Structure formats: structure tokens, C-alpha cells
Amino acid sequence: MAKDLGERKHPPQTGGRAAKMMPGEKARDFKGTILKLAGYLKPYKIQLTIVFFTAILSTVFAIVSPTILGMATDEVVQGVMGTGVDYKALLEILMLLLGMYLASWLFGVLQSWIMAIVSQKVIYTLRDNMSKKLDRLPLKYFDRVPYGEVQSRMINDIETVNQTLTATITQMITAIVTLAGILIMMLRISVIMTVTALVVIPVSLLVIKLVVSKSQRHFKNQQKFLGKVNGHVEEMYSGHDIVKAFNREEMSEEVFDEYNDALCEAAWKSQFLSGLMMPLTQFIGNLAYVLVCFLGGYLALNGKVSIGQIQAFIQYVRSFNQPVQQVANIANQLQSTAAAAERVFELLDEEEEVDLDKEPAVVLDPEKVEGRVTFDHVKFGYKENEPIITDFSFEARPGQRIAIVGPTGAGKTTVVKLLMRFYELDGGSISVDGHNIKDLSRNNLRALFGMVLQETWLNSSTVKENIRYGRTDATDEEVKAAAKAAHAHRFIRTLPKGYRMKINEEATNISAGQKQLLTIARAFLEDAPILIFDEATSSVDTRTERQIQSAMAKLMADRTSFIIAHRLSTIKDADFILVMKDGNIIEQGRHEELLAKNGFYAELYNSQFAE
């Protein structure tokens, strides 16, 4: 039987697609993903056009420079062999060469600067869209997708796209222009020498393809076990107290060693194989270099080319392999980027909560809501054909305190989650003051409720800001009044800096009971017309519990309240008690009435107080 939502566990952080699809994989729809990504670049067409032309100009100046240097060499050679060096002409050539180097550098800096701005704006937009998307996703999405997976898409995948936008686009333009430009300049000098140099290119490409095919499997394994190591470390750190309590440190180390050994094995193989690519291509390039030197010497002796042209050609040959390697690396990088971008777009394309925020049929004023809540033949299940609630009907009158009790998995917390529209019903309806909650926007509906859950949640801000979380416009005096009502003021005063103390990321600098008191103070401050308490006093001691119950009684006066409780002693004074089992109401009435029936409630109650 499925458990209540409040009691269900989150999916494991190391499983799911986070471990299956890593940055080294290929995208399923490469073309479609790249086109989607290009759509984010459309608003920056002017900047990208400037980047395109500055990249071309920077590359062209860099390509022409060896030819100019060759002219300077010829000027020196002719001067030495003839009547003397023309230093004025040589200086003009050298100044032209310096100007070209400077222009190439300036255009390179300009295109890098513009591209960095464009890429950061695109990444900002993607991150912003993802953040807003997460706010609009239904809870069922987070039930099936591990939190680690969402974090991976928000951080790792976005960063992969960022690196590509920042560097790869300009590298791709530069590499293509460099290849074309160098080829043209080489052909201008000597066709036969160019053909000789190009003979080794197919060999280089074959070597690159062979190395990539061998190393890709190891890179995938490296990413896979890196994810396992990270997941294991995160899991062990977040639960380090449990690990120590059960003396599982040794087993934790064994699992870590297993993952770490596999990561080390995959990492050195992938790095070794990828490291072979550069020396192998350099060796093949050197073969071309040697062939060109022999052929160039022969042509120079026969007067077909000058020494300066041979020097320029050798420089071009030296430079030719670099853009070839860049193109291969860019192709591989684009595959990784497409895979990462595809995962980002998958999240952005997820089905959102259906809402009526734009044109709600009904808008309820929290100050005017009476608090009549009606459940009419409600049906619901987290999974298809696995119902949790089969036929739930009940009406809570304004101002009533309704307690919901039952064994684990009965559907108690699920009822509350449905009331808040965290999930959509499979059948039936829920209404507030006669209005179907589907006719209200979620924001409007949730503004009607003050809620304290069994699982406390505080963010890494001050105590004051955590209490103010539901009402950001509340004054400091109102915050203190809410804390006093929740019996939290006394312990807050003992904290370093009091209300201004910052709660750390894991909220470990205050106790579990103190965290619960702060969430109760938050509900007091919100002052909503309908209240929900899901085991609100489960983490506090008996004395504090009595104090909170006294304060809660004042808060619940003239307000409809739903109280979910396992400790039945806390709900004796409820106006109405609903006893749930297997998703249905099997008993209902006041405490004394239910005990007198000697049914399921009486059995639950007596079992808690049995000797």
C-alpha cells in the first residue's frame, strides 16, 4: 500500500537518468536541439554578425602574416646576394607585419569580448527559464525525478552549454576560416607542395577517429563513476550521523573505494588515449613537414619558388594541423553540448501545473472567506490504477477543528495535499465556500491556508526572515508577536544575535524542536482563514507541546482547521474526528462518541495507552 505523501521518501540521488546520461553522450535529436539553442541566440544577431566578421578579420590577418614575413626574408636574401639590403623597404615590410599582428590581436579580443557577453546573456536566460519552470512543475515531477538530476541539469548541463557558447562558436569560425585561408595561401605559393602536404590529412583524420572511438567509452565510464562518487559522498555526508550510529563507516569506505577505483581506471584510460591524439597528429604533421622541406629545397634549386616562400609555406604547414584538430574537437564538443542542451530543453518542455492565474473564474479574498470546505466523492492515486483515496466525502463547517487520524498509508496527508492542489484529483471535487478549487488560481487558493508540515523546512537566512517567509511585509513587532504566540521567542532570545542569527544551510545550528517552533510561528504570522497542521508538534517535548496546543487553540478560534495527528491525545478536543483507513472514512464523530463505539478509533486510541 502506498504511503502518505508526507511519509514518502525522495528518489535516490544517485540513480535515474543522472547516472545514465552523462555529458559524453550524444543527443537523440542533434539537429533539433542545435536549432532550439540557436533560437536563444536570435536576439543577438547584430552582435553575432560582428563576432563573425571580427573572427574572420582576425584570422585573415594572422594567415597573411607569414606571407609578409616571407617577403621580408626575400628582401634580406636578395640584399645579401645583390647590392645590399634595402633597409627602408625592409622596415616598411616589418611595420606592415607588426600592424597585421596587432590588428589580428585587436579583432580577436573584440570578438572574444562580444561573445562572452552574448553567451552569458543566453545562459542567464536559460537559467532564469529553468528556475521559473521549476516553480511551475507539479510535485509529481519531483516524485519521479531525483533532486540530483535536477541539480545536474541546472548546473553541469548549463555550464557545458556556456563553455560551448563562449569558446566553441568563435573557434569553429576561426578554424574553418583558417583552413580555407591557409589552403588558399599554400596554393598561391605552390600547387605541388600543397598536394604533398595534404596527403597526410586523411591519415590524421583516421588516427583522430580511431582514438576518439576507443576513448569515448572510457570517457562515458569516467562520467558515470564520477556521478556515483559524487552521489555517494553527498549521501554519506547528509546522513553522516546515521552512518556513525549504525557503525557503517567501513562499508561506506568500501563502496567509495569501489567507485573511486572504477573512476580512476576509466579516467587514466580515457586521459591516456586522448593524450595520444596530439603526439600522433604531430608525428604525422612532421612527416608532411619533412616532405615539404625536401620538395621545397628541390623547387628552390630549380628557381620555382623563393626561400621566403618556402619559409612561409613551412609556417602554413605547421599551422594547418591545428585547425584540423580544432574541427575534430569542436565536432565532439558539439555532441556533448547538444546532449547537455537536450536535457535542459527536456526540463523546459515538461508539462506544467494547469492553472488559471491569467483569467481565474473566481477570486476569493482571504479576509472574507468563511472556511466551509467540502470534499465530494474524491478519488486519487499517485500512480495510475493504484488508488490511495477511493471515495472520500466530507464537509467541514466554518470554524470547525477537524482531526484526521488513521494508520500509516491511510491517506491522511494526501487529503491535505489535494486540498492545496499540489496534485489534481482523479475524480470528484473539492470546494471552498462553495467554489470548486479548480476555478481558483493556485496562488489565490494557497493564500487561504496557513500550513505547518511534519517535515520542517527553513532556508539559509535569518530567523526573522524565516518566520516572515509567508508574509514578507510583516513588521519586526509582528514577527516577535508570532514567535511569542508559538512559544519560540524565549529560545530565540538565547541564540547568538537573536532574530538576526543566520540559520546554516543544513539548519543544524538549531534543534529539531526549535525548527518546528519557527514553522509554527510562520503560520501564526500568515494569519490565514484555514489552517492545516500535519503533526505540527511531533518534534517538541511534552511541556512545549502543551504550550503550543494552547496557542494553537487561540489561533484556531473562528478558523476552519485540519489537524493530522498520530498521537491521539492531541486531538481530544477536536470538533470532529475523521478516521481513515485504506483511503476511506470508516468512522467519524467526536472523541467520546468514537470511544463509545468501540471500533477502529477505540482500538487505535487504546493501543497508544496500553501498558
Average pLDDT, the chain: 79
Angle CA 243–7–393, to nearest 5 = 175
Q: Are residues 413 and 453 in the same domain?
A: yes
C-alpha cell at 479: 514577527
Spatial CA neighbour of 565 closest among 577, 551, 582:
577
Residue with cell 586523411: 202
Q: Are residues 178 and 207 in the same domain?
A: no
Q: In this structure, are strands 560-564 and 401-405 parallel, antiparallel, or unpaired?
A: parallel
Determine what percent of the chain is predicted with pLDDT higher than 90: 4
Average pLDDT over residues 531-556: 73
Q: Are residues 242 and 335 in the same domain?
A: no
Angle CA 166–168–173, to nearest 5 = 115
Say if CB 341 and CB 130 are below 8 A apart. no
pTM above 0.85? no
Q: Are residues 339 and 472 in the same domain?
A: no
C-alpha cell at 312: 612561409
Q: pLDDT tens-digit profile of 80-122?
A: 666 666 777 778 878 888 888 888 889 888 988 988 898 889 9
Q: In this structure, are strands 373-380 and 427-432 parallel, antiparallel, or unpaired?
A: antiparallel
Edge to edge, what strands does the sheet with 401-405 contain? 449-452, 530-534, 560-564, 401-405, 576-581, 584-589
Q: What is the pLDDT of residue 538?
A: 66
Element (H, E) at 586: strand 584-589
- CB-CB neighbours of 176 under 10 Å: 17
Average pLDDT over residues 21-38: 69
Residue 313: inside a domain, yes or no?
no
Amino acid at position 153, single letter: R
Residue with cell 599554400: 186
| DSSP bridge pairs for 561 | 401, 531
Residue 175: inside a domain, yes or no?
yes
Q: Are residues 344 and 293 in the same domain?
A: no
Q: What is the pLDDT of residue 14?
A: 37
Element (H, E) at 429: strand 427-432
Instruction: Provide the 3-class DSSP secondary structure of residue 200.
Output: coil
User: Does 3 score more than 50 pLDDT?
Assistant: no
- CB-CB neighbours of 494 under 10 Å: 7
Q: What share of the chain is helix, strand, coil (3-state, %, to 5)?
A: 65, 10, 25
C-alpha cell at 402: 477537524
Q: What is the pLDDT of residue 26?
A: 59
Average pLDDT over residues 153-162: 84
**Could you tell me which residues come within 8 angstroms of residue 210 by beta carbon, excluding any fewer than 6 positions away?**
none
Rounded to 5 degrees, φ, ψ at 559 are -125, 140
Q: Are residues 339 and 407 in the same domain?
A: no
Q: What is the pLDDT of residue 373?
A: 92
- Work out how many domains the chain is built from and give that number: 3
- CB-CB neighbours of 535 under 10 Å: 21
Spatial CA neighbour of 111 closest among 42, 178, 166, 181:
166
Give the structural domain span for 115.
26-189+328-349
Residue 366: inside a domain, yes or no?
no
Rounded to 5 degrees, φ, ψ at 430 are -125, 135
Average pLDDT over residues 580-606: 86
Q: Are residues 94 and 241 in the same domain?
A: no
| DSSP bridge pairs for 430 | 375
Measured CA to CA, the distance from residue 47 to residue 111 in angstroms comes to 9
Q: pLDDT tens-digit profile of 477-491?
A: 999 998 888 888 988
Q: What is the pLDDT of residue 430?
A: 93
Question: Which of the residue ranges 63-77, 331-345, 585-599 would you say has the lowest mean pLDDT?
Answer: 63-77
Residue 171: inside a domain, yes or no?
yes
Residue 310: inside a domain, yes or no?
no
Long-range contacts of residues 539-542, Cβ cutoff 8 Å, at least 24 apart = 539/456, 539/512, 539/513, 539/515, 540/513, 540/516, 541/513
Q: pLDDT tens-digit profile of 391-401?
A: 888 899 998 88
pLDDT band at 37 (very low <50, low <70, confident <90, very high): confident
- The CATH number of the domain where 182 resides is what? 1.20.1560.10
Task: Please give the C-alpha separations between residue 196 and each of 76, 238, 288, 296, in angstroms, as whole numbers.
Answer: 28, 62, 7, 11
Measured CA to CA, the distance from residue 435 to residue 294 in angstroms comes to 91
C-alpha cell at 382: 499517485
Q: What is the pLDDT of residue 455?
A: 74
Instruction: Provide the 3-class DSSP secondary structure of residue 502.
Output: strand
Measured CA to CA, the distance from residue 467 to residue 483 in angstroms comes to 8
List alpha helices for 137-200, DSSP H. Answer: 139-144, 147-152, 158-163, 169-189, 191-198
Q: Are residues 398 and 539 in the same domain?
A: yes
Spatial CA neighbour of 133 closest among 418, 370, 347:
347
- The CATH number of the domain where 601 resides is what? 3.40.50.300
Average pLDDT over residues 561-577: 82
Dihedral sign, Cα of residue 83, residue 85, residue 88, residue 94: positive
Measured CA to CA, the distance from residue 377 to residue 583 in angstroms comes to 11
Instruction: Provide the 3-class DSSP secondary structure of residue 610.
Output: coil
Q: What is the pLDDT of residue 145?
A: 76
Residue 319: inside a domain, yes or no?
no
| DSSP bridge pairs for 374 | 395, 431
Q: What is the pLDDT of residue 360?
A: 64
C-alpha cell at 34: 542545435
Q: Are residues 406 and 513 in the same domain?
A: yes
Residue 367: inside a domain, yes or no?
no
Q: Are residues 256 and 383 in the same domain?
A: no
Q: Are residues 153 and 246 in the same domain?
A: no
Average pLDDT over residues 419-432: 88
Q: Are residues 185 and 196 in the same domain?
A: no
Measured CA to CA, the distance from residue 5 to residue 138 in angstroms comes to 14
Residue 462: inside a domain, yes or no?
yes
C-alpha cell at 392: 472520500
Determine what percent of the chain is predicted with pLDDT higher than 70: 88
C-alpha cell at 606: 487504546
Q: What is the pLDDT of residue 81?
A: 67
User: Does 475 score more than 80 pLDDT?
Assistant: yes
